[in-house]
Structure 1
Amino acid sequence: MNVSRRTLLRGGLAVAGGGLFAACSGRPGGSGIVVPTPTPLAPRSGQSLVTKTLTARPAILDLGGPTVSTWAYDDVLPGPLVRATAGDLVRITVDNKLPVETSVHWHGIALHNAADGVPGLTQKAVTSGRQFTYEFVAPDPGTYFYHPHVGVQLDRGLYAPLIIDDPHEPGAYDAEWIVVLDDWIDGTGTTPDEVLADLMASGSSSGGMHGMGGMGGSPFGDAGDVTYPHFLINGRVGTAPDLLRAEPGQRVRIRVINAAADTIFTVALGDHRMTVTHTDGFAVQEQEAGAFYIGMGERYDVVVTLADGVFPLVAKPIGKDGAALAMVRTGSGPIPTPARAAEIRELTGPVLLGSDLRPADSARLPDKDIGQSVDLALSGQMSTYEWAINGAPYGKNEPITIESGERVSMQITNMTMMTHPVHLHGHTFALPNGLRKDTVLLTPMQRMVVELEANNPGNWAAHCHNIYHAEAGMMAALVY
């Protein structure tokens, strides 16, 4: 057997094929997990109510030239913005008109367990033709998004931004843009389900394997498995980019969301420096950068003072050909071609890795003694496309049990030669430098010890946010 350089370096996995599709398909993460029953919530006195109905259904979408058959919320890409203020009661009804079951996960939100959207852990999947209402109080302000937690549905058009505003934030900027990044393969001659089946069968996808992820100076080793024909910003390809307008000299807050399934991006704005102000919803000590990395599921807020002209906003995929592109126009000037835009000098200079940021004092976890320590060991191999946490795929690994009220130390160890964005539901965690995150990139063979406060009891998913790795087993249940 030819062993890929991504092959698991320590140990191996003996996994029956039938257990590999458990990650988001509704199969419970071990015995003894009881799915909670939703309890209807009523607005408190003075509390605002935010309501919306989302319809998930098949759709024909124009990506700015390419037309694709896919699944989407309300026939738009990205889906409808959900926006609330911290403290509001949010009530979203999902109407499932897909031919299969689905759910909605509110990524990054520390909500109550019954609204988290993970079939088999927090709810029963929403079957075709049925509705389900999610209710939660909007907690920490910040930039979030929502997407399904069933199969590889995230790699279709089922994603959209979720913004929680801070009523106390001064808002020292003149405008705001929401920028959603994506890698796109659905409706281009294959589907994400076919890509996954191909990966599982042979270790190569119908989109084509990409074994050179991380080359070109990035720290990420092998960074992705699928070759995508398109990369999108706000649902559009680079040959017909989204146009973002403002006036010269204005300060703009840009909320960047990576909704991709398999791609880490480097983000830069031509001829500008960006000031990073938040990551995953929490404030950081502001840091200027020409470019920054963003992994699947991560979010970064930046503030930019705009010059006069036309400038490319570029998201360049790590280890893959092509780029996602939008245009910023504050004055006259030609629109650069995608090829020229992908060569802006900001992409060749130093690139900020988010985990190197420092937290703002307001975002630090209070000091507290560690009451419990747990391990999260990521393992797997490309040759048979098997991925696991703590030695077994989801559905066969044991739930990680913690105690309510404890400060928990979690040692996350990446035992593979790929980078994995590790996402924890229902909580944020503090990195060793104190930075608050809910999704963090772990590079090959990296070990990181994070701390979380066990203050939100329930059944929670911890998984790689490469959706193909998660669906092939790289997920575990965290329960208390």
Structure 2
Amino acid sequence: MKPEISRRRLLAGVAGAVGLVGISDVSGGRTFPAGLRAVGTNRVRAGDTGGTRSRVTATLRPRPVTVDLGGPHVTTWGYADDLPGPLIRARAGDTLRVELVNGLPTDTSVHWHGIALPNNMDGVPGLTQPPIRPGCRYTYEFPLPHPGTYFYHPHSGVQLDRALYGVLIVDDPQEAGRYDHEWIVVLDDWIDGTGRTPDDALAALRETGGHADMQGMDPAGAHGEGAEPDSHHDEGPDTSGHGGPASAGHGDMGGMEMMTSPLLGGAGDVSYPHHLVNGRVPAAPRVFRARPGERARVRIINAGSDTAYRVALAGHRLTVTHTDGFPVHPVDTDALLLGMGERVDVMVELGDGVFPLIADAEGKTGRGLALVRTGSGATPPADVRLTELEGRVLDTATLHAAGSVRLVDRRPDRVHRLELGGSMNPYRWTINGATFHDADPLLVEQGERVRLEFVNRSEMFHPMHLHGHTFALTGGGARKDTVVVVPHQSVSVDFDAGNPGLWMVHCHNAYHAETGMMATLAYRA
């Protein structure tokens, strides 16, 4: 994800669109046209959550490491010698100060996924900061306005598809915490150090038109463009009663695997040898321990780059309480579906025994596995079949915001339509027919209610992520920062423009973003 390549086009597009000339501001080694809010001030004050309490500090040292995945040892780039990276924890209202020391052989950055922070702390090289060169240091410092489950990762190329990610938990000082355990569950698809790197996978996709790592491609083989999408997700799709992973479509294309998801359509572009839960393969799972009858809050993060996961806990129903950090009206479900970049919090009352926590790679071959152990019993096999995966599968876009965080009803002042398209050959992904190299910015003004209409004209699903803001799905939907848009469907979301700057809107499939599916949302002065 390298936005610096579009700098000239972005500045020309903004200046032309708003009738501005000249250069007024230089920030992070980057110039911006006069009248453009290049570096914003966080409009959500710490006092909104009880006032600033303290400054929390941390240091991240990205570097080459060897990681034990529970048997396979892989050479990769990481923040630590284990996965996920260091847990950063603070309270809403605190200020977070993180120093990054770059021990990598290339440039890097850190994006604080889901946080409404000042624009110059957003971690996008070439747009909000200079790239952090090898051997250099960079300090991020910003207030944490909202409690919730977040994570951090680079916004540089496909570095996310290595071990460069970690969890950021922002606690609510007013929350009662009516549970006995809190467990953090991070899902990831893994390729690095297995004979290929993420950069190798990206090069193969570009060179062969996606055929080298084909999954979820339409049988026509070449183009992602499709028919006129239908309206989707205002109330959300009915995902209950669908078959489990065994019902996914399979096909053969000259020895290359082609799979589709019954819920998402296309299932991604890269075949992964491993799917991890908290950095472990199913043969050596992480174990969460408790007693029968206790309650656990489980924070689940999909840190994958190309894979959605269908998640279930054997013998249990999950009560979803939060999505992307914000509370929702609680909903019980057998399983849930998470696109890349999405997070959910669930509550579960634990039974007696040993229970597999499964994350099936939606529409792909493979799964992640952890164990919940509350009593005696044999460890179930990694390929155990869960009836919960074939029951009601909840799509987070069907959730509704709790009253405390519901966006006030208001007609939008501005509407931007983002048509999502692309092709497998050449491997190219677009917004409104253009890759990020050539895209015009999406202009907004401070104080506006803005509607984004995501219209998917491709055969692939796209988890669309907005930086620096949370939006609400129209019709009283959940407050989120990442939402999945399935093939030939549309999703409308609203947000209040209250955090000036230059912000990314992009697909959180790292390979789609890196090959063009990004745009810039730009505030006018």
Q: Same fold (TM over 0.5)?
A: yes
Please say if 1:189 is aligned against 2:195: yes
8 Å contact kept, 1:242–1:327: yes
In structure 1, what is the equivalent of residue 274 of structure 2?
230
Aligned match of 1:357 in 399, 402, 407? Answer: 399
Deviations along 1:252-297, one digit per CA (max 9) or x if unpaired, are 0000000000000000000000100000011110000110000000
Note the C-alpha offset of 1:35: 6.5
Alpha-carbon distance in 1 for matches of 2:40, 2:136? 18
Aligned match of 1:52 in 52, 58, 68? Answer: 58
Task: Please tell me the residue identity of whatever aligns with 1:211.
Answer: G
Mapping of residues 392-411 of structure 1, within 5 Å:
392-411=434-453
The verdict on how the C-alpha distance between 1:174 and 1:371 changes in structure 2, with shifts beyond 3 A counting, is: same
Deviations along 1:127-163, one digit per CA (max 9) or x if unpaired, are 0000100011011110000000000000000001010
Please say if 1:427 is aligned against 2:427: no
In structure 1, what is the equivalent of residue 367 of structure 2?
323
Please say if 1:30 is aligned against 2:10: yes
Unaligned runs of 5+ in 2: 15-24, 29-38, 219-247, 250-259
Note the C-alpha offset of 1:120: 1.3
- SS of 1:154's equivalent? helix
Aligned match of 2:358 in 302, 308, 314? Answer: 314
8 Å contact kept, 1:108–1:427: yes
Task: Please tell me the residue identity of whatever aligns with 2:189.
Answer: D
Note the C-alpha offset of 1:464: 0.2
Note the C-alpha offset of 1:368: 2.6
8 Å contact kept, 2:40–2:119: no
Aligned match of 2:428 in 378, 386, 389? Answer: 386
Note the C-alpha offset of 1:209: 1.6
- SS of 1:469's equivalent? helix
Please say if 1:439 is aligned against 2:482: yes
Alpha-carbon distance in 2 for matches of 1:364, 1:40? 23
The root-mean-square deviation of aligned C-alpha atoms, in Å, is 2.0
TM-score by length of structure 1 reads: 0.91
The verdict on how the C-alpha distance between 1:226 and 1:397 changes in structure 2, with shifts beyond 3 A counting, is: same
In structure 2, what is the equivalent of residue 209 of structure 1?
214
In structure 2, what is the equivalent of residue 266 of structure 1?
310
Note the C-alpha offset of 1:218: 2.5
8 Å contact kept, 2:68–2:82: no
- SS of 2:265's equivalent? coil
Please say if 1:132 is aligned against 2:138: yes
- SS of 1:30's equivalent? helix
- SS of 1:339's equivalent? coil
How many residue pairs match? The answer is 455
Aligned match of 1:298 in 342, 353, 356? Answer: 342
In structure 2, what is the equivalent of residue 3 of structure 1?
none
Alpha-carbon distance in 2 for matches of 1:251, 1:205? 46
The verdict on how the C-alpha distance between 1:205 and 1:49 changes in structure 2, with shifts beyond 3 A counting, is: farther
8 Å contact kept, 2:356–2:369: yes
TM-score by length of structure 2 reads: 0.84
8 Å contact kept, 1:211–1:222: yes
Please say if 1:160 is aligned against 2:140: no
8 Å contact kept, 1:26–1:124: no
Deviations along 1:7-34, one digit per CA (max 9) or x if unpaired, are xxxxxxxxxxxxxxx7456643612576
Deviations along 1:56-100, one digit per CA (max 9) or x if unpaired, are 000001000001000000322100001110000100001100000
8 Å contact kept, 1:26–1:119: no
Deviations along 1:355-395, one digit per CA (max 9) or x if unpaired, are 11111111211223321111211110112111111211002
Alpha-carbon distance in 1 for matches of 2:60, 2:420? 35
Alpha-carbon distance in 1 for matches of 2:117, 2:26? 15
In structure 1, what is the equivalent of residue 156 of structure 2?
150
Task: Please tell me the residue identity of whatever aligns with 2:214.
Answer: M
Which moves more between the two structures, 375-384 or 308-317? Answer: 375-384
- SS of 2:337's equivalent? strand
Deviations along 1:317-356, one digit per CA (max 9) or x if unpaired, are 111111100000111111111111xx11101112111111
Alpha-carbon distance in 1 for matches of 2:3, 2:295? 40
In structure 2, what is the equivalent of residue 6 of structure 1?
none
Alpha-carbon distance in 1 for matches of 2:53, 2:82? 30
Note the C-alpha offset of 1:211: 3.1
Task: Please tell me the residue identity of whatever aligns with 1:310.
Answer: V
- SS of 1:124's equivalent? coil
Which moves more between the two structures, 258-267 or 379-388? Answer: 379-388
Alpha-carbon distance in 1 for matches of 2:179, 2:326? 18
Percent identical among aligned pairs is: 54
In structure 2, what is the equivalent of residue 244 of structure 1?
288
Alpha-carbon distance in 1 for matches of 2:373, 2:366? 22
